[in-house]
Structure 1
Amino acid sequence: VYEQTEVIAIEEAEDGVYVRTATGTVKARKSVVMAVHHASFKLLPQKKQTTLPFYTYVSTTAPLELDIHELLPEEHPVYDTQFQIDYYRPVTQNRLLFGGQGTGSCWSPERTLNYLKNRIHTVFPQLKQVEIDFVWSGTTDLTVNGAVDSRKFGSKFPIYAVHGWSGHGVAQTVR
């Protein structure tokens, strides 16, 4: 497993699949499995793009006024089934990590803060005072129908690619 490794090229040869990175080459004799981002899909043998990039937004609250177990007794991560999802989980020091939304362009930190604070109050109205200590955004990808796109490439040595998380990555990673 080579996490956080940018792939520069993928080539299938007679003796395996060669995955070139900036610092070396990985040779796979059985298969390659990749969690693909929209920007790296062009590296796969079939270059048909099926996803669009979008930004998602995340925050971490300051320590909450009430015990996090009153909100999430089992400490499980949660995401809902709305088209524009909310996702959240408890984190250290009685804080709540809360994220959601998806847009085609990146919001300012102020807009992100206001949006997420409003969503936290909507989902957890029992929280009277919520201060946000950290807020950030990141690029992910989505498919038009919202379903994860799983594909198999290659002939002798299969290359499996999974992409288009559409904000449902936590639930889909079991694939």
Structure 2
Amino acid sequence: MKLTDLRRTMLAIAVMFLFWQYAQAQHTANASSFEGVWAGQLQDENEEVQYLIIRIINGDASKYSYNEENNSFEANTFDLEKTMITGNNASYTWMNKGGVWTETQTHLLSYLKPGELWCRMIRQVTNAKEDEDNPGINNEWSTYYYGRLSYHRSIEAFVASLEE
């Protein structure tokens, strides 16, 4: 084999290697990639803000809220919660009811890169009372929020990041 042929072969191998590198997924996740505390600020189309804290442990998610009386972040309790994780996506849904209302929140989580998720949150509320604008049906409304969530190894680490 001539030196020129060897150079062409080496160049071809190098080019194939570069294309192979770019053809691979940039960031891939598995269930353990979602483990931890994820917190961030979501907004709707009117730029109204909602803060979200989700903790995922052993594939099960919980939503956390600040309790002013206890001066601490605590897990919320809902009638029904479901978490599903596959590949780079996770879904966390909770449902609750009280009086005439029933509420559902679904959080669609996309793994962007280590330490960062994208969240699309849909909130739906149905009231078992007649809709004023549409007689004969129940009153229903919904809203949609979106934004980035950042990783924290624990609730305590999240709280410490607020104090920085």
- TM norm structure 1: 0.24
Instruction: Work out which of the two has the higher radius of gyration on C-alpha atoms and give 1 or 2.
Output: 2
Q: Which protein has greater RCO, CA pairs closer than 8 Å, 6+ apart?
A: 1
